[in-house]
Structure 1
């Protein structure tokens, strides 16, 4: 096994974290360009539309999860294209129907920005499904390229629009153009393979994607809930202090993401999921230790980089926000491992944490400073993180033993199937099992 838990080349696997960082750098470039180019009111409008765009990515994440699991388990992709089209059109229609209400709720002067968000739903689904197929087949060069073209392309379109026009609606239009262009290129590339279509399989994809969307949507809500609760429980100035600390939470949460992308296929396969769960746990715990220790040692430097001299009251305690993000990353690992196995139950963990948040903040109260609030939230997520580790590591030894005799033969069969299905691309030759 390689470091990524697969037998593909290390170099190909190493491209994914690089592409992940580059794509996220473009996303941050969009925010920075908008912050410098737009007045405060316009930037606030753009932020609300980008929040809506984040919600619109949930079907994309769900389709990526479903496609990766299905091709990792049985190598087939029947129904994925048709299912992607159905989900994408449904998401587009839902946003368009809700656009007047959304524009009013967000205090927008028209529905143009919301319509631009709707225009991204189907192409985002195409990007997600294609990324999932590459992820499940361990075609890591292709996955890295899709990360750059998909996530990076839409952010680049937004950056260009910000620099040229400097308005929220134009920025969303640029994002939509970049997303559509990326999806069109992916669709044209995939068209030559003509994957098999099956109505029943497509319905299965839609049902499974709905459950995955439930889990992904809950987790996205959970990653924003602490800031919303800070706004509810703290005075405005103190809520702003909490929000600065929350930047460290986000960084710690997303630090191990690219490695989890690499391990998802192994988490889905019965013969490798136990070892993959251990590797994933080691990666998440290792990144958590480094992030928390680094933040504790370099608190003033971290706070200065995030918010400047105005927030140096966070210097000795900013590591608590990093710890919260690290615990959320452990929770996310358990949910992703469950989705890889086809389990629909682990979303209950997310509901439990959300309920715990509300109980300690709204019910119990007493969280009248940023430090007290983050400590309360760390306590809630800490309990869930312990349960999460047990769920990821509890793969019965008997199951591993039962499949051990079949592993070598199964690996050879999988290698033959992957090579036969994909020997027309150099990416697959690099990523297929030998």
Structure 2
């Protein structure tokens, strides 16, 4: 590849692929190394804290989806949308952090923690996590891929420094703090890039668009709706480790957490697909194709990686000299299947938000209830894994069918359907 071609690749969607790859390698590298540093019980608690932070980060993702969709839908109002998103983002970050501070005793009980300190660390990390969502959504909607790529790079690299802290004091609180270092640098970069409001639209609309409201309250309502939809998804994606902490022994739940590393890698490995496709998902005449292409890409990547896990799991466990990985190596490919299904579901949830659909989200909440009820009667990690794969497979199939049907309906009436009348 020539220098010019490489610059064009990195300046477009290729930069997002590289940026998210760096972020995911550093993030999961930290988590994998932490598995060897912490004892089984502490690692189970740390992983449960990470999963709860991911559930909390739905506010971040709701802000991101709202900012990106509104900028794509009304590029002529980008400067006003930017200003409103940033104000709402900063205020929401403080509210989320304050609420978690108050709820820290409840978090301590929910995750069966030995002290309240890890819950306090969680509350502190929620603030930069939420602010980052506002920054990323603006950059994504404006397709400023270079700046966005650097945000993702800085979301991963600082976690390497976090490992040094963890070596010094191997506890779940320090592990969470070390992992959370990846939320501060991206916020600083986002502030720097967006410190001056744009005075001109990012692009001319391809077709006349209904102007979007730039008042704070309508934007906040949409962000909250997006957040509850994403909360449903990430609750489904993360509820199993919480269930495991209650129905399995500390040792068994720790082993389940090790297997979930593969599921999380498979969930976030195709993250660039969701990021790059979202502007197309928010554009009526491109939406159906984006759903098909995105789903196909994720399933293809998932199939290749699942085969790779099946072939190298044993070798990797021996190379890492990890007794915990050796104990679960025979089932790691099933965790890869679970992660792939969850990744497709994530794309479909974002597709629903992009078209401002609502009813499909009810299926995700129903899947959460089924996961908790069925998971609560399991007695072994393999049984819990089977429940999660079954529930997620049914949910993914239903969302694919509903998404394609809704997109076909939208296209047949000209691509514009009021949200209140959508079939999904």
TM over 0.5: yes
Q: Which moved more, 1:271-280 or 1:216-225?
A: 216-225
Q: Which runs of 5+ in 2 are unaligned?
A: 1-6, 201-211, 416-424
Residue 245 in structure 1 maps to residue 232 in structure 2: no
Q: Secondary structure at the match of 2:103?
A: helix
**Does the Cα contact within 8 Å between 1:334 and 1:391 map onto a contact in 2?**
no
CA 1:259 to 1:245, structure 2 compared with 1: closer, same or farther past 3 Å?
same
CA 1:231 to 1:278, structure 2 compared with 1: closer, same or farther past 3 Å?
same
Q: Which runs of 5+ in 1 are unaligned?
A: 1-7, 405-434
The Cα offsets for residues 272-318 of structure 1, whole Å up to 9 and x where unpaired, read as 11111111111122123223333444553466568856766756554
Taking the TM superposition and a 5 Å limit, the aligned residue runs for 1:269-280 are: 269-280=283-294
The Cα offsets for residues 102-154 of structure 1, whole Å up to 9 and x where unpaired, read as 4576545565x5444433333323321111112122221121111122x2265
Taking the TM superposition and a 5 Å limit, the aligned residue runs for 1:330-369 are: 330-362=344-376, 367-369=378-380
Taking the TM superposition and a 5 Å limit, the aligned residue runs for 1:17-416 are: 17-31=17-31, 34=34, 50-75=50-75, 76-77=77-78, 78=81, 79-102=84-107, 107=113, 109=115, 111=117, 113-149=118-154, 151-152=155-156, 155-156=159-160, 158-159=162-163, 161-162=165-166, 179-193=183-197, 201-232=215-246, 239-298=253-312, 300-301=314-315, 304=318, 308=322, 317-362=331-376, 367-397=378-408, 399-400=410-411
Q: Which moved more, 1:22-31 or 1:383-392?
A: 22-31
CA 1:251 to 1:74, structure 2 compared with 1: closer, same or farther past 3 Å?
same
CA 1:50 to 1:328, structure 2 compared with 1: closer, same or farther past 3 Å?
closer
Cα RMSD (Å) of the superposition? 3.7
The Cα offsets for residues 156-197 of structure 1, whole Å up to 9 and x where unpaired, read as 56345446666666666666676445423422332222679x
**Does the Cα contact within 8 Å between 1:157 and 1:175 map onto a contact in 2?**
no
Q: Secondary structure at the match of 1:394?
A: helix
Structure with max Cα Rg:
1
Q: Aligned partners of 1:322 and 1:212: how far apart in 2?
A: 27
Give the TM-score of the pair, scaled to structure 1. Answer: 0.75
**Does the Cα contact within 8 Å between 1:244 and 1:306 map onto a contact in 2?**
no
Give the number of aligned pairs: 391
**Does the Cα contact within 8 Å between 2:22 and 2:157 map onto a contact in 1?**
no
CA 1:115 to 1:354, structure 2 compared with 1: closer, same or farther past 3 Å?
closer
CA 1:385 to 1:156, structure 2 compared with 1: closer, same or farther past 3 Å?
same
The Cα offsets for residues 16-63 of structure 1, whole Å up to 9 and x where unpaired, read as 121112112222344456556667777676556545543442321221
Alignment partner, residue 420 of structure 2: none
Give the TM-score of the pair, scaled to structure 2. Answer: 0.77
Q: Aligned partners of 2:157 and 2:88: how far apart in 1?
A: 24
